């Protein structure tokens, strides 16, 4: 099968501006693709990178969109302005591949202007994140429209899990044959268990004592408040480490501060480390955690679970979205069911969800043999199913099918 001569990737996040799983995905996918074909990345920011087959260009938005408007609208309006800048620049690629709603409209415009097939990867969906009204106000309807236009015009949609594929078909007018499942991946050489602990100690955590670890943004979908509410029920021997930054809104940031302060007043060993740590430091935390916990209420895939498993750490995760396609219950970790209110991502019984999280964490914390067995199984699963080279290969094959269909060969 013929592969494209060159691919253009449009993304909000690209190093050094990475704050979530979509940015991690784009970083590693673009590198893996560039080992085979030329790749041009157009990203939000001021990046300028030339590295072999990989070229990265950052785009800034128009300052005018920040003037004389509701501050909540700025994010979506800024994305709109950058999308137009990305799309209008001369494109010499055979495929344009977009990631997240931030750039889906840029892909739509590029498809129209330059006559190339459009691929859209779904990392999350705006219809399933209604709490973003807190963050964007009525501009949430603009972000939703931008996403819809891109997805429904795409020649192919990549869902990062089977559950996400079902969500796409439920919420968008897309023929089923256009929606393909290609999982997220992980760099197996970078994400592996390390004996180093100096970064852990430098942040005040005692690496000789057991600790439970959370890594992620402070947002409703990541469920961090439910984990914080579970802390009083955790074994008192457990330290709690929250590598949690980038609050979606000032409101959830304040709620996080209040809840962490409240639980910290009743027990020691609670560490909230805000901001994004360098990746080698995060790998130290993964490697020496007693249990990694992912309490998400909405998670199309959950790349953080792969990262923990690659570092041979047992996982406790909510049984939502694409997580059960990553974490095998009873083998690589424990899955915690959570019933959500219809049409929302609010647990029917938040106290019960927090209690169930605590019970699963305590169970693993008290069973070293089980943790060790799950850690080994997690690493094996990652090696077998989630390497970036394999995922890049499947992505290239999809590109090839699109080009063959377009040229009638």
pLDDT at 328 over 70: yes
* Structure letter (DSSP) for residue 239: E
Q: What is the pTM of this model?
A: 0.83
Residue 235, classed as helix, strand or coil, is: coil
Provide mean pLDDT across the span 99-119: 97
For the chain, the structural domain boundaries read 7-185+387-407, 198-385
Continuous segment of H or E residues that includes residue 359: helix 350-365
Angstrom distance (rounded) from CA 89 to CA 299: 34
pLDDT at 15 over 90: yes
Residue 110: pLDDT band with limits 50, 70, 90: very high
Q: Give 102's contacts (C-beta < 8 A, 6+ positions apart).
A: 11, 12, 44, 79, 82, 83, 146
pLDDT score at 249: 84
Residue 395, classed as helix, strand or coil, is: helix
Tell me the longest C-alpha to C-alpha distance in the chain: 68
C-beta separation of 77 from 65 below 8 A? yes
Best CA proximity match to 248, nearest among 369, 137, 366 = 137
Do 7-185+387-407 and 198-385 come out as alike in CATH topology? Answer: yes
Q: What is the pLDDT of residues 185-223, one digit of tens each?
A: 999 999 999 999 999 999 999 999 999 999 998 988 899
Beta strands in 218-312 (DSSP E): 239-245, 270-273, 291-294
Best CA proximity match to 47, nearest among 92, 9, 84 = 9
Best CA proximity match to 279, nearest among 48, 15, 100, 29 = 15
Continuous segment of H or E residues that includes residue 211: strand 211-217
Q: Which one is the CATH code of 198-385: 3.40.50.620, 3.20.20.70, 3.40.50.1370, 3.40.50.2000? A: 3.40.50.2000
Would you state the CATH architecture of domain 7-185+387-407? 3-Layer(aba) Sandwich (3.40)
The dihedral built from the CA positions of residue 380, 382, 386 and 387, taken in this order, carries a sign that is: negative
Please list the residues that pair with 387 across neighbouring strands. Answer: 186
Best CA proximity match to 160, nearest among 325, 340, 350 = 325
Provide mean pLDDT across the span 366-389: 95
Q: What is the pLDDT of residues 226-242, one digit of tens each?
A: 999 999 999 999 999 99
Residue 398: pLDDT band with limits 50, 70, 90: very high
Q: Which two tokens stand for residue 25?
A: 């995905």
Angstrom distance (rounded) from CA 247 to CA 153: 32
Residue 234, classed as helix, strand or coil, is: coil
pLDDT score at 275: 81
Q: What is the pLDDT of residues 338-370, one digit of tens each?
A: 999 887 788 999 999 999 999 999 999 999 999
Q: State the average pLDDT for the chain.
A: 94
C-beta separation of 398 from 119 below 8 A? yes
C-beta separation of 5 from 38 below 8 A? yes
pLDDT score at 134: 79
Provide mean pLDDT across the span 363-384: 97
Angstrom distances, CA of residue 375 to CA of 27, 277, 307, 320: 26, 23, 12, 21
pLDDT score at 1: 63
Angstrom distances, CA of residue 331 to CA of 32, 112, 211, 232, 354: 29, 47, 21, 27, 22
pLDDT at 337 over 90: yes
Provide mean pLDDT across the span 55-62: 96
Q: What is the pLDDT of residues 298-310, one digit of tens each?
A: 898 889 999 999 9
Q: What is the pLDDT of residues 139-177, one digit of tens each?
A: 999 999 999 999 999 999 999 999 999 999 999 999 999
pLDDT at 297 over 60: yes
């Amino acid at each position: 099968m013929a592969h494209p001569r060159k691919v253009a990737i449009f993304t909000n996040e690209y190093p050094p501006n990475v704050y979530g799983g979509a940015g991690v995905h784009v970083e590693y996918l673009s590198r893996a693709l560039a080992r085979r074909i030329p790749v041009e990345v157009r990203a939000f920011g001021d990046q300028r990178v030339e590295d072999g087959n990989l070229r990265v260009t950052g785009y800034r938005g128009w300052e005018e969109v920040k003037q004389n408007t509701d501050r909540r609208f700025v994010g979506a309006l800024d994305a709109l302005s950058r999308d137009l800048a990305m799309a209008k620049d001369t494109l010499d690629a055979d495929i344009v591949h977009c990631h997240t709603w931030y750039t889906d409209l840029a892909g739509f415009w590029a498809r129209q202007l330059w006559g190339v097939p459009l691929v859209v990867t779904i990392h999350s969906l705006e219809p399933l994140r209604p709490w973003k009204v807190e963050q964007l106000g009525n501009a949430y309807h603009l972000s939703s429209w931008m996403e819809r236009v891109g997805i429904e015009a795409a020649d192919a949609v990549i869902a990062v899990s089977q559950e996400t594929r079902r969500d796409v078909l439920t919420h968008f007018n897309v023929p089923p044959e256009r929606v393909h499942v290609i999982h997220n991946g992980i760099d197996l050489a970078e994400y592996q268990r390390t004996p180093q602990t100096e970064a852990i100690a430098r942040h005040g955590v005692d690496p000789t004592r057991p600790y439970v670890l959370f890594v992620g943004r402070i947002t409703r979908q990541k469920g961090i408040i439910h984990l914080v509410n579970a802390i009083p029920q955790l074994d008192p021997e457990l330290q709690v480490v929250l590598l949690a930054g980038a609050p979606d809104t000032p409101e959830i940031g304040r709620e996080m501060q209040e809840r962490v302060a409240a639980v910290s007043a009743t027990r020691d060993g609670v560490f909230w480390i805000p901001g994004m740590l360098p990746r080698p430091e995060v790998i130290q935390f993964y490697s020496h955690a007693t249990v990694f916990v992912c309490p998400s209420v909405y998670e199309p895939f959950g790349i953080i679970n792969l990262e923990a498993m690659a570092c041979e750490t047992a996982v406790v995760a909510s049984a939502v979205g694409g997580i059960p396609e990553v974490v095998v219950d009873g083998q690589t970790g424990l899955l915690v069911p959570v019933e959500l209110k219809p049409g929302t991502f609010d647990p029917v019984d938040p106290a019960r969800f927090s209690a169930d999280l605590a019970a699963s964490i305590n169970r693993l914390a008290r069973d070293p043999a089980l943790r060790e067995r799950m850690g080994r199984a997690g690493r094996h699963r990652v090696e077998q199913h989630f390497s970036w080279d394999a995922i890049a290969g499947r992505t290239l094959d999809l590109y090839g099918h699109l080009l063959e269909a377009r040229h009638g060969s």
